[in-house]
Structure 1
């Protein structure tokens, strides 16, 4: 019986010791929890409003729950605030985007309208150019008919062209009027090549605005079938000095590959020659004798020494062959 009592006392002592140890551990855990809660409150003080004043009357579990409730409320408030700000920014951007889209659509409509106007103007310009070409062709045809009826027609490949009213014609060309003029037609012989000269008083091509340009243009003749093609005779232009001074002379030999010197298929081939014949400032220089009384004299010489004259006697041997 005594041994049993001793065992019971021993067990009670162990239990008391365990309880004391557990109490110490619980106290340590409680203190540690309180420290952790305090740290959490300190860290979250900027988010949780009024945590310090309320936490003093709450137990640890309530304090933790209260902290997290306050933290969730604070975060939700911050999220709501930022959401409102982002919503306002989004609305502003949306309004600005609508303005940009509207401006772009307006510019696109303006561009479309301008393109339609440009297309319409281009068609009108093209129609006017076609009308001018037809008119120019008719003028050339009339001029050539007048030339063909001219009693002064030359048959030796030499033409002296008296070109009057030079200043007026040069100013007219500067203003976009009649930029060129044709001479009367002339032939290398009675049955030879037919041609005329073309003069640009304000220049053409590389010489536009700076030089007097002169060209030769082959014309369709009655005896073209008897000529040698392409045309290859040397052509000389001579601007004659009216004061017995030095003439201005330039010449060229036709390029056989140039269609200007093939047999004419229409009334007249494209003219070709000397776009840089003489500088306008030299032409207008006082006392040089090239331009006098508003008149120039242009001499055109076609070398006909080696041209086979269809009117020459036929060789009897060739005839028998």
Structure 2
């Protein structure tokens, strides 16, 4: 409603009504001035006639009464005419005000209906958002169960991820922050639980120009037996499928980062290489990195000096 009153169109209607009323009032003032002039003219004529009373056949009292009767008739006629004009103007203004009032009531009712519709829409949106969150949690839970039971699970700290349909997934990720998680793998059957997270269209500094690859420490069943924070060196390899050079990058975990502390939730914040490989180099047919729309990623976790909770010692 406030927006409606602030609109130029509403202001122009109000100004137009005021302008019309001002013109009518100005005209009425002009008519009153003319009426005054006519009255003054009659008074002057009356004075002239009074001066000639001595030559009149009527006596003075009769003549004065006659003149005042004539003045009264003239004034009454002019006043009645002006009153009719004022009544017409007042009636017109009242009708305009009634129309404006009706429009105002209609606008208020429409605003209330819109508010009710907005409240109803907000409730529906909140319900849909809640449903989406529940379904996302169900999907994540199902994916996690599938990954945990996958026969491709590695228990030696080395994992090879076959990532198919790269072109489609990279295109789907454009304009959105879409990522994909690998199957979990372990440093040993009772060791750290980990996975990789891939952004086909890049993330952070690499968004839109690079493929980003990250390492994720996951919550495992035997975390109480591990040493924290996680300190093992991580190496990423994008394997060349035509016996050419691989793309290799590695990093040493920062022991002060929350990404390598003991997980309190399902997984820690991913950490790794936002600028792992340029997209133009990756998709180039001469590099041998992308073949049959598939890439092969190798993740190696250094197990040197790593205590194995499952060993006899």
TM-score category, normalised to shorter length: 0.5 to 0.7
CA distance in structure 2 between the aligned counterparts of 1:72 and 1:125, rounded to whole angstroms: 78
User: Does structure 1 residue 113 correspond to structure 2 residue 117?
Assistant: yes
User: Does structure 1 residue 182 correspond to structure 2 residue 181?
Assistant: yes
User: Does structure 1 residue 239 correspond to structure 2 residue 238?
Assistant: yes
CA contact (8 A) 1:162 1:295 kept: yes
Q: Secondary structure at the match of 2:139?
A: helix
Mark the CA change 1:83 to 1:111 in structure 2 (over 3 Å): closer, same or farther: same
Mark the CA change 1:114 to 1:87 in structure 2 (over 3 Å): closer, same or farther: same
CA distance in structure 1 between the aligned counterparts of 2:207 and 2:138, rounded to whole angstroms: 24
Gaps of at least 5 residues in structure 1 are 1-41, 315-321
Task: Give the TM-score normalised by structure 2.
Answer: 0.67
Mark the CA change 1:67 to 1:265 in structure 2 (over 3 Å): closer, same or farther: same
* Corresponding position of 2:229: 230
Deviation readout 1:212-268 (Å, 9 max, x if unpaired): 232222233454323221223332322223344443333334344544322134554
* Corresponding position of 1:86: 90
Mark the CA change 1:196 to 1:73 in structure 2 (over 3 Å): closer, same or farther: same
CA distance in structure 2 between the aligned counterparts of 1:142 and 1:81, rounded to whole angstroms: 90
* Corresponding position of 1:165: 165
CA distance in structure 1 between the aligned counterparts of 2:159 and 2:99, rounded to whole angstroms: 80
Mark the CA change 1:68 to 1:275 in structure 2 (over 3 Å): closer, same or farther: farther
CA distance in structure 2 between the aligned counterparts of 1:276 and 1:104, rounded to whole angstroms: 56
Bigger radius of gyration among the two: 1
Q: Name whichever of 214-223 and 82-91 sits farther off.
A: 214-223
Gaps of at least 5 residues in structure 2 are 1-33, 54-59
Q: Name whichever of 269-278 and 119-128 sits farther off.
A: 269-278
Mark the CA change 1:310 to 1:116 in structure 2 (over 3 Å): closer, same or farther: closer
CA contact (8 A) 2:235 2:301 kept: yes
Q: Name whichever of 116-125 and 204-213 sits farther off.
A: 204-213
Shift of residue 172, structure 1, vs aligned partner? 5.7
CA contact (8 A) 2:218 2:267 kept: yes
Deviation readout 1:127-147 (Å, 9 max, x if unpaired): 12311221222222221221x
| 1:1-321 matched pairs, under 5 angstroms | 44-47=36-39, 56=49, 62=65, 63=67, 67=71, 70-71=74-75, 74-75=78-79, 77-146=81-150, 149-150=151-152, 153-155=154-156, 157-171=157-171, 179-189=178-188, 191-204=190-203, 207=206, 210-309=209-308
CA contact (8 A) 1:48 1:71 kept: no
CA distance in structure 1 between the aligned counterparts of 2:251 and 2:74, rounded to whole angstroms: 105
Shift of residue 49, structure 1, vs aligned partner? 8.8
CA distance in structure 2 between the aligned counterparts of 1:159 and 1:241, rounded to whole angstroms: 16
Cα-Cα RMSD: 3.9
CA distance in structure 1 between the aligned counterparts of 2:76 and 2:218, rounded to whole angstroms: 103
Q: Name whichever of 102-111 and 45-54 sits farther off.
A: 45-54
CA distance in structure 1 between the aligned counterparts of 2:242 and 2:162, rounded to whole angstroms: 15
CA distance in structure 2 between the aligned counterparts of 1:245 and 1:47, rounded to whole angstroms: 115
Number of residue pairs the alignment of both structures matches: 268
